[in-house]
Amino acid sequence: MHPDFLDCRVATLLAMTIRTVTIYESLNRPMSEKIRRIAHLDMDAFYASVELLRYPQLSGLPVVIGGTRRAADALIDPLQQEKPLHRIALDDFPRLKDYTGRGVITTATYAARQFGVGSAMGLMKAARLCPQALLLPVDFPQYRKYSKAFKAVITDIAPLMEDRGIDEVYIDFTDVPGGQREGGRVLARLIQKTIFEQTGLSCSVGVAPNKLLAKMASEFNKPKGISIVLEQDLQDRIWPLACRKINGIGPKAEARLQGLGIRTIGDLAQKDLDWLIDHFGQKTGAWMFDAARGRDDRPLVLESEPVSISRETTFERDLHAQRDRAELGAIFTRLCQQVADDLQRKGYVGKTIGIKLRYADFKSVTRDQTLERYTADAKTIRHSAGLCLKRVPLQQALRLLGVRVGSLHRAGPDLQPKAPAPPVSDAASATGVAASSDQLF
Average pLDDT, the chain: 86
**Straight-line distance from the first to the last Cα atom of the chain, in angstroms, rounded to the nearest whole number:** 88
Domain 308-437 fold is: Dna Ligase; domain 1 (3.30.1490)
pTM of the model: 0.72
Question: Does residue 435 or residue 140 have the better pLDDT?
Answer: 140
Q: What is the pLDDT of residue 80?
A: 66
Residue 426 has pLDDT above 50, yes or no: no
CB 332 within 8 A of CB 370: no
Domain boundaries, the chain: 28-44+142-235, 47-138, 239-292, 308-437
Q: Which helix (H) or strand (E) holds 107?
A: strand 105-108
Q: Which helix (H) or strand (E) holds 126?
A: helix 123-129
Mean of pLDDT values over 290-295: 96
Mean of pLDDT values over 97-121: 90
> pLDDT of 214-223, one tens digit each?
999 999 999 9
> pLDDT of 8-66, one tens digit each?
444 344 434 434 433 444 444 454 468 999 999 999 999 999 999 999 999 999 999 98
Mean of pLDDT values over 175-195: 95
Give the closest residue to 383 by CA, choosing from 428, 326, 328. Answer: 428
Residues 6+ apart with CB under 8 A from 150: 43, 195, 198, 199, 201, 203
Q: What is the pLDDT of residue 439?
A: 54
**Helix/strand/coil percent split, the chain, to 5:** 45, 20, 35
Residues marked active site are found at 168
Helix 325-346 to helix 378-389 angle (10° resolution) is 130
Q: What is the pLDDT of residue 86?
A: 84
CB 44 within 8 A of CB 203: yes
The CATH class, in words, for 47-138 is alpha beta
Q: What percent of the chain has pLDDT over 70?
A: 84
Give the closest residue to 312 by CA, choosing from 382, 385, 403. Answer: 403
String of DSSP letters for 374-431: EE--HHHHHHHHHHHHTTS--SS-EEEEEEEEES-EE--TTSPPPSPPPPPPHHHHHS
The CATH H-level (homologous superfamily) assignment of domain 239-292 is: 5' to 3' exonuclease, C-terminal subdomain (1.10.150.20)
**Model confidence band, residue 155 (pLDDT cutoffs 50, 70, 90):** very high
Residue 437 has pLDDT above 60, yes or no: no
CB 188 within 8 A of CB 39: yes
* Of the candidate ranges 117-131, 264-278, 303-317, 382-396, the one whose mean pLDDT is the lowest: 303-317
Q: What is the pLDDT of residue 414?
A: 64
Q: What is the rounded CA–CA span in Å between residue 220 and residue 385?
A: 44
> pLDDT of 398-408, one tens digit each?
999 999 999 99
Mean of pLDDT values over 175-203: 96
Q: What is the rounded CA–CA span in Å between residue 391 and residue 175?
A: 54
Beta-strand relationship, 168-172 and 161-163 = antiparallel
Q: Is the peptide bond before 223 cis (omega within 30 degrees of 0)?
A: yes
Mean of pLDDT values over 205-228: 96
String of DSSP letters for 241-280: SBGGGSTT--HHHHHHHHHTT--BHHHHHTS-HHHHHHHH
Q: What is the pLDDT of residue 299?
A: 94
The CATH code of domain 28-44+142-235 reads 3.30.70.270
**Model confidence band, residue 82 (pLDDT cutoffs 50, 70, 90):** low
- Which of 78-82, 248-252, 321-325, 351-355 is the most confident on average? 351-355
Question: Does residue 372 or residue 25 have the better pLDDT?
Answer: 372
